[in-house]
Amino acid sequence: MEENTNILGCFMKIGFDPNLKENEFTAISEAFRPYIWGEKGISKELKKLHWKDYGNDLELALFQFHVKPYITELQYIKEIESYRKNEKAIGIPIIVNDENFFNKTEEGRYEFLKQSILQKMDLLAEVVKKRKLDTNMDLLKSNLEKVLQEFMIK
């Protein structure tokens, strides 16, 4: 099995709205998923960055896309999760809803993803500094900006 060296990863969770039918959950998933894992998905670009290039204390920063979270779920979503020392990982929630994503054009949707990811990197930098992790956040942010900029031009 090949070792996963990607420092940035993606995860998606559809909100639990008891008013939605199963086919509506599927439609939401199918509308969002291509922006992350599709042919023009942002996840491919994030895989260009490897944790070994930035230090040893952080091996995975996982962008957790909470797609249309239900009202009760919102109160449990933190701005950024705690660093998990045993896993050398941290979860970074990003809330995706109609206003910031689904009501936008395709270009607007990609721009939202790019800006959200870059803004969350500032929060990650605070955690890295506070926990005294050896992760070179300036280099990671710079490389991430380059990768996302190239991706947006395609």
Note the pLDDT tens digit of each residue in 21-44: 889 999 999 999 999 999 999 999
Q: Is the pLDDT of residue 58 over 50?
A: yes
Q: What is the pLDDT of residue 2?
A: 52
DSSP assignment of 85-122 equals: TTTTEEEEEEEE-IIIIITS-HHHHHHHHHHHHHHHHH
**Cα separations in angstroms, 20 against 26, 68, 102, 114:** 10, 11, 16, 29
pLDDT in tens, 113-153: 999 999 999 999 999 999 999 999 999 999 999 999 888 87
- Cα distance between residue 117 and residue 63, in whole Å: 8
